[in-house]
Structures are given as structure tokens and as C-alpha cells.
Amino acid sequence: MDATFFKLEHLIQPRHPNRALQLHRHFPHAPRGKDVYGGPPLDYDFYTTMSPSFQQIVKSEVAKAMLADSLTPAQLLRLFFHDCFVMGCDASLLLKSTVLNLAERDHPSNFTVDKFSVIDAIKAELEKACPGIVSCADIVGAAAVEAVEQAGGPHIDLAYGRRDGLDSFGQAAKTNLPGSTLQVEGLRENFANVGLNLTDMVVLSGGHTIGQARCSSFADRFAPAAKNPFPDTIFGQELNAYCVEGNRLGIDRRMTLDANSTTIFDNGYFQSIVAGRGILTTDNVLFTDNRTKSLVTTFAQDQTVFFDAFKELMAKMGRIGVLTGTQGQIRKQCWVRNPIDPATTPDANMEFAPASLEFCTPNPCPATCSSNTA
């Protein structure tokens, strides 16, 4: 291996694996009662009496997952983001494909989404403690905010009461998830589709502080006619060599999106962008577009301001398209919906076969199905 490989490779190694647990804090003054923001009637006390062990189970399972894999927080945060942006925060991302329907999780846009097993583990423990009470949609949100805190980020209070959706469509993931080569205007339009604004877009991008990307997702940065060459030219050249070497080995290598702290949730991502080391096109343009540059600068200079904005954003994103009351259902297992009576739910997509254990494999989905024993 050459020096370039070693110089970049160390950036994707976990740092301070125990720091997340040390930084976990207790907040006695959490909000109580109804969530007064937004339309859906969510409640901070939703599980206080119905499932009092809810938060502790989430905390315990996330901690165990992080001990096994320090990249867990990034994946749990991404699960929440990808779920909410497609059909709302209804756990539709967790549903597996059937022989008749390609679900969101099996669309190429979600091929690198991971840690479904953590959600399943939390659900299994909650079903032992209080069967049929906690929705998978609420578990996804709770796991994301808990993971952020255990990774060193802020404590985030979410209101609960979301219910699980009945449908999941692969094409919806392609339509609603933002691509890594978008310019600021494209990102603005994508976020506006779910009721979020330009500030929200910059704040959520800050979650990349614990994220990674495959070389293939930022290959456009190295094209001869690239519109967004790396401002830190030496870094760009070394990164290009790192990816090219991986290609020669048949490996689509990964690179951390925050060159300062790989597994700690902080404002290092914004500092990387200011330093000219934004990896994705969607990272770099945040500092080259005057509409977002000042926010990036502010967050790079003041972590507290970023943390406060991130807490607000997570609560706001968690209200996108939620189902409440008698809408949807509370799934018994997060990857398959409960049986549906077409007489009482005539609008449900009946191409799902919840009683069947036959599920399509992601590639190619229509041609091959395998028995799932999980």
C-alpha cells in the first residue's frame, strides 16, 4: 500500500469507541404533554404509562449495537431520514418486499441502508415488555435520537404516537430521496416537498459528521469537466488516488464525510467543508452557494448553535406525514405488516402478503425469491 492509502484509510477508522457512553447525559427537564408544533397530535408522554420501559429498552439496545459497531449511529440516523422522506415517518422503509411488490428498502437508493436488525431487536424486547403498544415508526425515531446522543451529540426530545404504515413502494424511494450530485436549488426543492426549508437542509446535512460514502457516490467530483473540484486540491488528489486504487482492487471504498472526527457527533463536518474537504457534491455546494454559506460558517464556528438547530430539525422531521389515532397499525414485527381485512381497509395495497414468508431478493427482485427464517 502506498502512503496515500494509509493517510486516507485512517480517517474511516473508529475513534474513541467508549466516548459515546461517557458523554451520555440525563435531562430531568424534558418536555411533557402534547406536542404543540405541527399538525399531528403527538405526545411527549405517549408511552409514560402504556410502556414505561420504552426509552430504557431503546437506550440499552442502541448501546449494545454501538459496542459491536461504532458506525451504528450513522445508520440509525439515516434510517430515520430515509423513512420520513418517503411516505412520511411511518416505518414503511422497514417493510420487506413480497413476490408482488418491491418495497423501499430493496430499491437501489436504499441498498446501503443498514441496522434494520437494531430496530428488530428493540421491537422484540418491547413486545416482551408491553405487547402491541409501541409502533415501529416510533422505534425508528427513538433509536435515531438516542444514537445521536450516545455518539456525543445533543439530547433530543421527540414526541410519540406515530403509527405504522400499510404500504411501501420502491419507486417512491427513487422519487423522494435526494441524490448526492444535486446543487443547492435541487436540494431546496427536495426538502420543500416534505415541508422543510433551506435551513433545515443545511442542519440535516450536519448529520454527515458521523457518515460515510462510497467512492462511486462522489465519482462526479473527479470527472474531467467537474463543476465542483475540491478546494483543497491536495486532499482531492489523494482522495482520487485512494478511490482509483480501490477500483483496481475491485473495491468501492468508503470515505468518512467528516475528516475531523469519524464517529463523534460534532460540528466537524462543517469545519471540513470550510476547509475545502466536502466529499459529496451536496456537501461542497453548501459552502459555494451564498444562500447556505453563512450557515455553514456559523455551524463550523459554534457547535452549540448547530446542536440547538439539529434538535429542532429532528423534531420537525419527525412530524412529516405521520399516521396517528386509528390510522395505520401497530405492527407485531417491523418488517411485515399485520394481516389486513380488505373489507375494513379497502384502500390498502393488497399486493403485500403478510402471512407469507417468501420475499424477493434485492437483485434482481422480480426473478428470485428466497425463504426468510429471520
45 has binding-site annotation: no
Task: State the virtual CA torsion across 178, 179, 180, 181 in degrees, nearest 10.
Answer: -120
83 has binding-site annotation: yes
Rounded to an integer, what distance in angstroms lies between the CA atom of residue 319 and that of residue 84?
A: 8
Rounded to an integer, what distance in angstroms lies between the CA atom of residue 355 and that of residue 334?
A: 14
User: How many Cβ atoms sit within 10 Å of the Cβ of residue 199?
Assistant: 15
Q: What is the DSSP string of 255-323?
A: EES-SS-SSS-SSHHHHHHHTT---SHHHHHHHHSHHHHHHHHHHHH-HHHHHHHHHHHHHHHTTTT-B
373 has binding-site annotation: no
90 has binding-site annotation: yes
Rounded to an integer, what distance in angstroms lies between the CA atom of residue 42 and that of residue 55?
A: 16
266 has binding-site annotation: yes
224 has binding-site annotation: no
| Residue corresponding to grid cell 411511518 | 90
Rounded to an integer, what distance in angstroms lies between the CA atom of residue 291 and that of residue 344?
A: 49
Question: Which cell goes with 122?
Answer: 428493540
DSSP bridge partners of 213: 255
Rounded to an integer, what distance in angstroms lies between the CA atom of residue 299 and that of residue 305?
A: 6
Q: Which of 10, 82, 107, 155 is catalytic?
A: 82
88 has binding-site annotation: yes
Exposure letters 238-264 (e unless 16+ CB within 10 A, then b): bbbbbbebbeeeeeebbbbbbbbbbbb
Compute the Cα dihedral for 92, 96, 101, 106 and give only its sign. Answer: positive
86 has binding-site annotation: yes
Task: State the virtual CA torsion across 331, 336, 342, 348 in degrees, nearest 10.
Answer: 90
| Residue corresponding to grid cell 390510522 | 327
168 has binding-site annotation: no
Cβ contact 32:279 at 8 Å: no
161 has binding-site annotation: no
Q: How remote is the C-alpha of 303 from its chain's centroid?
A: 21
Per the annotation, the verdict on 107 as an active-site residue is no
Rounded to an integer, what distance in angstroms lies between the CA atom of residue 281 and that of residue 228?
A: 7
- By annotation, the residues acting in catalysis are 82
* Annotation: binding site for Ca(2+): 83, 86, 88, 90, 92, 104, 209, 258, 266
* Annotation: binding site: 83, 86, 88, 90, 92, 104, 178, 208-209, 258, 266
* Annotation: binding site for heme b: 208
